[in-house]
Structure 1
Amino acid sequence: MKERSRVEQFERIRRERRDEGLSIRALAQRHQVHRRTVRLALGDAVPPTRKSPERVAPVLGPHLATIGGWLTADLDAPKKQRHTARRVWQRLMEEEGVVVAESSVRGLVAQLKTEIGGDRAQVMVPQTHGPAEEAEVDFGEFTAVIAGVVMKVFMFCLRLSHSGKAVHVAYANQTQESFLDGHVRAFEALGGVPTGMIRYDNLRPAVIRVALGRERFEHPRFIAMRSHYGYDSFFCAPGLEGAHEKGGVEGEIGRFRRRHLTPVPHVASLAALNQALAAADARDDARRIGARAETVGAAAARELVLLNPLPSETFDVSAPLSCRVDAKARVCVRQSYYSVPARFAGRRLEVRLGATAVIVLDAGKVIAEHTRSLHKGSEDLVLDHYLEVLTRKPGAMSGSTALVTARASGAFTAVHQRFWDAARKQHGDGPGTRALIGVLLLHRTMTATVVSAGIEGALVLGNFDPDLVAVTARSAMTSAGATSPPVPVPPTASHAATTQRPTPSLADYDQLLQKETA
């Protein structure tokens, strides 16, 4: 792998010399190598073979394997019963008959322990990050009560390395859609993209498989997102050994959880939870990291203006799926059910699965849109999708799951219920329910406020014809400057007398025809 990298580097040096005419000094500065290396590359496309120095250990050399075996066995031994340098020296003299100074053994044992890993100290090297150059990304977990249900929530966090400014977004899952959507929201919140790289651990939404060293087999959609926003990625070493390589975001997730998510938050929805997280991010602008002289907000103010601008188009994070509509006019997406208009039953439709939304399309046209469910096995049914079926089967209306959902969401109001009760009382169960369905169909072309005004007018008149509701609703819609929609006057004897109309007749038109022929 290293040999291939040297060959590729030599190729770049030779190409830039040929195409740009750069000097040896300029090439050395660009590639951060010595001028001797540049001359070697210009002289021959094949790098010279590296020579390994031969080191001679006249006394301990024949015993390196023995000492290494003892220290390797120590990896599985109790910490208090492992070889010290003095114990290794003693065993060499007693068991191997080696005459050597203890200081020589001490130096060799320290070297071997570092190579084997039995005594490797984790030294953290202080880092300095330029403004807008780097960021770090990770997921964290916390518990929240959403709509009365205790559930585990996953928190996406993107932290700018220079200022410490961070963006936190909560999701019900840790899928690729959430991972990509977190980037989109974070970049929009910051108003730009880091000019250098973003550090990651080996999250599955980004990495398909970890290869040797730093090489990764990345997911194509992650590569597309990275290319769209124009930044580089850096993957940390697997496991605990790589955690310190993005220690900023690791510590940030723990700090944010203790500071803003303790005690356990109680919210009505995931959207409300994210509003609370955004408010917490804004409050964190006033805090100071360690002994820094300026606040996070002040440092971010200098940094954000240096970020690369956002692309003109937002990256589409949704995953394309193909789902068949079942006999109940539902599509099953990730073990949750979502309704579509009943006329699509039995067909296969395109579904765009996003982090927070599920969009169903037919021939590129959106036919249904739902908020992504937080729980598996749930049903998200829209009453409007079943109205044509309920017209033929009005008896199924009262017990329908879609009606229960509409009541819970507030789409089916008390005004609708009053109309339905009065219509059934006057016309009977089936015709009264059909009258309600006719009113519900008006919501496809009119706003809820206007339809409610039409229903109120019908209730006042005691007439439950959907056409009358439509006429009253249109009157409310076209009344200009009215603070409230007009309400019809209840029918009285005098009112009925003044509002009676003569029976339509064509006699006047016949007279016109007679004059025309005369």
Structure 2
Amino acid sequence: METIAKIRRRHKVNGESISEIARRLNLSRNTVRKYLKQGDPPRYQRREQPKPRLGAYEEQLKTWLEQDSQHPKKQRRTARRLFEDLQAEGYAGAYDSVQRFVKRWKQAKPALSQAFVPLIFPAGDAAQFDWSHEQVELGGVVQTIKLAHFRLAHSRQPFLVAYSRESLEMVFDAHDRAFAFWGGIPKRMIYDNPRTLVDAIKVGKQRRFNRQFLALANHYLFEPVACTPASGWEKGQVENQVGNVREWLFSPRPRFKDLAELNIWLEQQCRKKLARRKHPEQSSQTIGQVFAEEQALLRPVGKPFVGYVEKACRVSSTCTVGYDRNRYSVPAEYAGQGVFLRATATQIKIVHEGKVLACHHRCFNREQQILDPWHYLPVLERKPGALRNGAPFVQWDLPVPVRKVRDHLLKQDKGDRAFVEILLAMKAHGSELLSVACELALEHKTLNAAVVLNHVNRLKEPQPVRENPVPGHLRLQQEPQANCSRYDGLREGHHGQ
């Protein structure tokens, strides 16, 4: 193209001869004449290549392509896979022939993959759910959080809540929060096919949902609906919300102290900023105004669903059980026994025979030990030396007076055993009473276990004295009266002697 343009300019604009142009551009004169005669640039067309070996297999290939077109895109065979299947049928030709045939067949087929049917949802009918991954800065550290998206399909009212995981217990907590935020429950909840919710995908819309998730649906009485695989348009509202929320709320990257502060901010954004946007269909109203009308048609929320993931485990010799690559302490008397660990979005509970043995705030870091020092008190009675370097006691947040007494006693011989006696009293009578007892011991500068325990006994409220009934024959008929003159008389008599 560039050479043709140069030849035409030199001859028609500059007036150079054909011989001169051919000499300067190192071309033949015939080539220069050819380019000057044709006005348009040359077009190269590929001739139809013969495919004698594929001819007998074209009908089979068309049949396979028609069958694959009825399947989701991810389940369709590639040209390479079709070529291998044809070889199994006896085809001995080249792969290129199959590839060109598949390409021409797809180009000739009407493209309906981007055509959709507009959907309309009545008020109170349905809501859509999805996850997204967003970048935030929590406590000065950039992290990827998992953002749960809810969207009422009629009013478009969104709800957002962030977690560190996408596990089932987070799904339970997210639904509790969403229904509480909306003040009601829609008739249907539309989902993708996440593994946390769907155990098996069957023909059509049939699904085998997770049993614990079905317990959530039965509690709130909504119908769970799963989309067709690879058909995101069936919940297109929440799919679009993912991209919009990323642009509106997470660009630039926001900063927060922790996850709880982030969730408070997200709820405020849903209630104010996002609810004030115009409704896409009812442009005269905002999303919040349409939501206020829809809210009356939502089913009222009753008690929240107490959802958890339960795991059977055995308490180790260090009095801990493991979950999500962390260790949580259990009272020492249950070491070696089988217990059940119940994990929610915020707590870890250890249960034995229906009794809650321990409750911890859930930790989302890895390889951490969450230890309650009180769980190890029976071990300290037998091994008081563990008080100095035991992991549960290193960062123990004791009251200041108790800490001062501890630091003083641990410098003495057998001071660790003496402080264990104080800890036993603290567990029996409470930290406030023992703090006052330690303050009194510090004031008198007599720091030992006996003094502290003596102060504890003195500070305890005295037990009420129960009066014993007096028999009738022992009761006084006439009570004596106070007479100071009798005392004076006794004094006088004594002096007279």
TM superposition score normalised by structure 2: 0.66
The residue number in structure 1 matching 2:388 is 398
The residue number in structure 2 matching 1:420 is 406
Counterpart residue type for residue 319 of structure 2: A
Deviations 1:240-288 (A, max 9, x none): xx11211211222333333333444444443333333323333335521
The question of 1:462 aligning with 2:445 is answered yes
Does the aligned pair in 2 maintain the 1:384–1:440 contact within 8 Å?
no
The residue number in structure 2 matching 1:228 is 219
Q: How far, CA to CA, are the matches of 1:224 and 1:287 in structure 2?
A: 35
The residue number in structure 1 matching 2:191 is 200
Secondary structure in 2 aligned to 1:129?
coil
Which residues of 2 match residues 115-134 of structure 1 at below 5 A? 119-134=111-126
- One of 266, 271, 284 as aligned partner of 2:260: 271
- One of 289, 299, 307 as aligned partner of 2:290: 299
The residue number in structure 2 matching 1:345 is 335
Give the C-alpha shift of residue 352 in structure 1.
Answer: 1.3
The residue number in structure 2 matching 1:189 is 181
Give the C-alpha shift of residue 473 in structure 1.
Answer: 7.0
- One of 241, 244, 262 as aligned partner of 1:252: 241
Q: How far, CA to CA, are the matches of 2:205 and 2:311 in structure 1?
A: 32
Which residues of 2 match residues 134-173 of structure 1 at below 5 A? 134-147=126-139, 149-173=141-165
Counterpart residue type for residue 419 of structure 1: V
Aligned length: 373
Q: In the superposition, relative to structure 1, how do residues 401 and 288 fare at CA in structure 2: closer, same or farther (>3 Å)?
A: same
Deviates more, 1:226-235 or 1:138-147: 138-147
Give the C-alpha shift of residue 70 in structure 1.
Answer: 11
Does the aligned pair in 1 maintain the 2:399–2:435 contact within 8 Å?
no
Give the C-alpha shift of residue 136 in structure 1.
Answer: 0.5
Secondary structure in 2 aligned to 1:394?
coil
Q: In the superposition, relative to structure 1, how do residues 446 and 265 fare at CA in structure 2: closer, same or farther (>3 Å)?
A: farther
Secondary structure in 1 aligned to 2:439?
helix
Give the C-alpha shift of residue 380 in structure 1.
Answer: 0.8
Return the structure number with greater relative CO, CA threshold 8 A, min gap 6.
Answer: 2
The question of 1:113 aligning with 2:96 is answered no
Secondary structure in 1 aligned to 2:228?
coil
The residue number in structure 2 matching 1:386 is 376
Deviations 1:393-423 (A, max 9, x none): 23322322222453xxxx3354443221223
Give the C-alpha shift of residue 219 in structure 1.
Answer: 1.3
The residue number in structure 1 matching 2:29 is none
Gaps of 5+ in 2: 1-56, 70-76, 80-104, 462-473, 475-497
Counterpart residue type for residue 334 of structure 1: D
Does the aligned pair in 1 maintain the 2:279–2:287 contact within 8 Å?
no
The residue number in structure 2 matching 1:36 is none
Gaps of 5+ in 1: 1-62, 78-108, 479-514
Counterpart residue type for residue 128 of structure 1: I
Give the C-alpha shift of residue 200 in structure 1.
Answer: 0.4
Q: How far, CA to CA, are the matches of 1:334 and 1:189 in structure 2?
A: 29
Does the aligned pair in 2 maintain the 1:157–1:169 contact within 8 Å?
yes
Deviates more, 1:347-356 or 1:277-286: 277-286
Secondary structure in 2 aligned to 1:317?
coil
Does the aligned pair in 2 maintain the 1:416–1:436 contact within 8 Å?
no
Does the aligned pair in 2 maintain the 1:335–1:377 contact within 8 Å?
yes
Q: In the superposition, relative to structure 1, how do residues 121 and 322 fare at CA in structure 2: closer, same or farther (>3 Å)?
A: closer
Higher helix share: 1
Q: How far, CA to CA, are the matches of 1:237 and 1:457 in structure 2?
A: 72
Q: In the superposition, relative to structure 1, how do residues 201 and 329 fare at CA in structure 2: closer, same or farther (>3 Å)?
A: same
Secondary structure in 2 aligned to 1:320?
strand
Secondary structure in 2 aligned to 1:209?
strand
Give the C-alpha shift of residue 341 in structure 1.
Answer: 0.9
The residue number in structure 2 matching 1:238 is 229
